[in-house]
Amino acid sequence: MISTRRAAVSFILSVALGGSLHALSEGSLKTEKKVSSEKKIVGDPIVAKVGTAKVIRRSEVLEAMRSLPPAMLQQMPADKLFASTLDRLVRAYLLAEAAKKAGIEKDSAFQKALENDKADLLSRSFLMKEVQTKVSKSTLEARYKKFVAEFPKEKEHHLFHILTKEEDAAKAVIKELEKGTKFEDVAKEKSIAPSKEKSGDEGYVMKSMLPPQLQDAINKLTSGEFTKIPVKTDLGYHIFKITDSRDAVPPKYEEIEQALQSLIFQEEAIKLIKKLESQKKIERFNEDGTPAVEEEEKASAIK
């Protein structure tokens, strides 16, 4: 389920194109925040020695942390993240030394992979350098005003939720609720949704952010009621209860600032890529080497 605040972030990012660009920008922003939150340390101390030939400094670990997936940055405490990244660098060095002794560097497949990795690193570094400077405070504030103006004008509902894997289990839950058992108690005991830890409380939710079949189920409810027929989705069988409704209000700027940064980064990156594409003749071919038919040509052929 998606609360209004989380839905607002999804709403912003749904406007953007290119998931990999989003991962690049969001990952870098969150890593910088994680690194900057660490205690201040003077200089660049050595944090590991491997044999007599290799030393690893703190700055190397922090740099490596910048390439970690956003999910890992969110879930792991800063001290554990630093320690695990340091371990990874030590192991990588040991394996690289062993690979050199085995002659892997001379392998043609390795040389090709090295070129691909170099091109990928260059492109990411160039994007960050060229685009990040355009994510200014004034640009972010202007985009927030636009977001507020476009924010859906509708009600949001305080939603409680129970999810079961099987239909029979959902029907058994409904019978239990009809006997008077508290919705929150049943959710905590029998729901498989993440919200079970909060007794099924999904917070305030806008119906427009939900799949149509879930919207239909919620439309039939009034405050205090729960669904009498479980709603099937790919996740399982859902039972809902509404306890309150109110006018939806957009989240504060601080709550979605990072999402706005990601959106603007993506838009500027896409502009840059399209500009570069326009400066070169690009020919694409099918897997078998035959000329590829452009989408426009396909569409005209169908007509």
| Residue 17 region by backbone torsions, left for phi larger than 0, else alpha for psi between -120 and 50, else beta | beta
Using one digit for the tens of pLDDT, what is the confidence trace for 35-79? 544 567 888 999 999 998 899 999 999 989 887 877 777 778 888
Average pLDDT estimate for 196-217: 89
Say what the pLDDT of residue 54 is.
94
Percent of the chain with pLDDT over 90: 54
Using one digit for the tens of pLDDT, what is the confidence trace for 129-150? 999 888 899 999 999 999 999 9
Looking at 4-13, 51-60, 273-282, which range is the least confident one? 4-13
What pLDDT band is residue 3 in, cutting at 50, 70 and 90?
A: low
What distance in Å separates the CA atoms of residue 260 and residue 267, rounded to the nearest whole number? 11
Average pLDDT estimate for 223-245: 93
Please state whether the predicted TM-score (pTM) of the whole model is above 0.75: no
What pLDDT band is residue 1 in, cutting at 50, 70 and 90?
A: low
What distance in Å separates the CA atoms of residue 10 and residue 20, rounded to the nearest whole number? 16
Per the structure block, which two tokens stand in for 198? 């909060």
Q: For the domain 154-247, what is the CATH code?
A: 3.10.50.40
Handedness of CA 14, 16, 22, 26 (dihedral sign): negative
Average pLDDT estimate for 292-303: 60
Where do you find CATH 3.10.50.40 in the chain? 154-247
